[in-house]
Amino acid sequence: MENWQEFFIQYWLEISMPVAMLLASLWLRATSFHLLERWRAKGDGEPVAIFIASTRSATRLWVLLLTLFVANHSLWVLSEWRTFANRVIGTIFILSLFWISIRLGQGLLRVYLSKAGLPTVMLPWLLNLVRVGVAFTVAMLLLDIWGISTTPIILVLAVVALVAALGLKDAVPNLLASFRLTSRLSFHKGDFIKLDTGEEGYVTEVAWGRTRIRGLDNSLIVLPNNKIVKSVVVNYGRPLKVAKHPFRFNTHHHLEVLTGVKVATVRELVDALKEVPGSVVYYHTHHFIEEHHFLIPEPANDFSLWVSGELGNRVLGEKLASIDIFAFPTIRALRKRLVEVMEEHLAQNPDSRRAPSGQELYLVSVITVIVPTPYVARDLRGFVEALGRVSTSSIYFHVFEARLRLQQGENDFSIWIEDSLGDKDLAGDIASLDPYSYSLEGLRSAIIRMVEAHL
């Protein structure tokens, strides 16, 4: 007991110094966190809260390390042990700084990226950059603490960095472009964009280095951000409403089949129409309109042109031409009307004129093959863009042939807009368009203008 008292009396100053440092450090830590809590409560305290959460546990360790450091210099006598202890204390301190930097960097980057409106896809890249930078600094400090020369390591890293720069010379501009793009981002996921180089579609991902968009044909387009930065980008925005069911554009092809039937007089034409399949009537009326859509708005059909041109019966030709073939929901009804008009004319004006040899009307049948196109619309913007790209055969299929297929006097476009988008007004406007008033290209333009005005 006396030995302890003598030891304390002899070294009381050396003992009191680490104790005083411990008490002072604890007081300073408590006061600092009290002030930080008050600062957080006054305003936007999210960054302060992240700082407090990241440093609260580590500062306890720092108080202990500082106390041990002071005690090491006050009480220890052997210099070789003092140096080793200082290195251990320094190592633990540096490692705790590394841990705090990672936690603090991750939290602050997430907050400020969100406030700046930048995509969170940047977070992993920036966080990894912070980790690499901090880890390199920590490694250099630890090597210096333990007396290991860092010059060879720095030289090796410089060579590696040079080789990496040469190997990534094409990737570096794209990474820089990615930063420029994300710092002033003019579009977001879900927007429909169009580049002046021709690429267009819905943005599905804005990543670091490239942007993915889904084309109208459902293809996936991957664009380097360096290309987007150099291009003029038109952003049409997000779709106002997504359809319940996407509209898939189809087209069709006709396979012509010779029936072997030819007619030279009106009577022969009437008798033949009563017997031939409905596909023959379709070919010489609806298919004729599709092939000669440039004649619109002068409505006609094969029968009217042949009667007027080859038989010279312009009166009957005009009567046949005046028949609105799209007013009939079925080919059967259309056939009946054609026969009625010709029989009524023959009853009032018997006509025995015969077509010259070689100018007879050869009746042709047709086989229709429906072919899907790659174009799919999920909203009105996609519908407009796809409609501008599909062939006129696709437009004819969905507008004209739909009347026969649906037997409702409407078309596929108006039905989809009403059923899947719930837009009865626009659907009614498109359904009321008079097909006779437009060529197929004119009809395409009219529908596009109507939808764009609606948007």
Looking up tokens 């664009």 gives 223
Query: What does the pLDDT read at residue 120?
Result: 53
Tell me the three state secondary structure of residue 219.
coil
pLDDT at residue 412 is higher than 80: yes
Range among 7-21, 254-268, 282-296 rated most confident: 254-268
Burial class (CB in 10 A: 0-12, 13-18, 19+), 328: buried
Distance CA 83, CA 81 (A): 5
- Per-residue exposure over 19-37, b if at least 16 CB sit within 10 Å of its own CB, e if not: eebbeebeeebeeeeeebe
CA 80 to chain centre: 66
Better-predicted residue by pLDDT, 223 or 180: 223
Of 114-118, 242-246, 248-252, 344-348, give the lowest mean pLDDT range.
114-118
In this structure, what token pair is assigned to residue 124?
A: 């992993």
Query: What does the pLDDT read at residue 224?
Result: 80
Give the residue-averaged pLDDT of 303-332.
Answer: 86
Pair type for strands 247-263 and 233-237: unpaired
pLDDT at residue 252 is higher than 70: yes
pLDDT at residue 10 is higher than 70: no
Query: What does the pLDDT read at residue 198?
Result: 79
pLDDT at residue 237 is higher than 90: no
Better-predicted residue by pLDDT, 246 or 126: 246
Do the beta carbons of residue 202 and residue 190 sit within 8 Å? yes
pLDDT-derived band at 46, boundaries 50, 70, 90: confident
pLDDT in tens, 128-141: 666 677 777 777 77
Residue of 80, 78, 63, 49 lying closest to 20 (CA atoms): 63
Kindly report the average pLDDT of the chain as a whole number. 77
Report which DSSP code applies to 324. Answer: -
CA 418 to chain centre: 25
pLDDT-derived band at 363, boundaries 50, 70, 90: very high
User: In angstroms, how far is the first alpha carbon of the chain from the final one?
Assistant: 95
Distance CA 334, CA 407 (A): 13
pTM over 0.75: no
Query: What does the pLDDT read at residue 344?
Result: 92
pLDDT at residue 419 is higher than 60: yes
Better-predicted residue by pLDDT, 20 or 358: 358
Burial class (CB in 10 A: 0-12, 13-18, 19+), 111: middle
Residue of 36, 93, 31 lying closest to 61 (CA atoms): 93
Of 286-290, 398-402, 414-418, give the lowest mean pLDDT range.
286-290
Distances (CA, A) of 104 to 23, 32, 165, 228, 298: 27, 17, 29, 33, 76
Do the beta carbons of residue 341 and residue 347 sit within 8 Å? no
pLDDT in tens, 51-100: 777 778 778 878 787 777 777 776 654 455 777 777 788 788 877 777 77
Query: What does the pLDDT read at residue 63?
Result: 78
pLDDT at residue 385 is higher than 70: yes
Tell me the three state secondary structure of residue 243.
coil
Query: What does the pLDDT read at residue 368?
Result: 82
Burial class (CB in 10 A: 0-12, 13-18, 19+), 336: middle
Give φ, ψ of 194 to 5 degrees. -140, 125
Report which DSSP code applies to 237. Answer: E
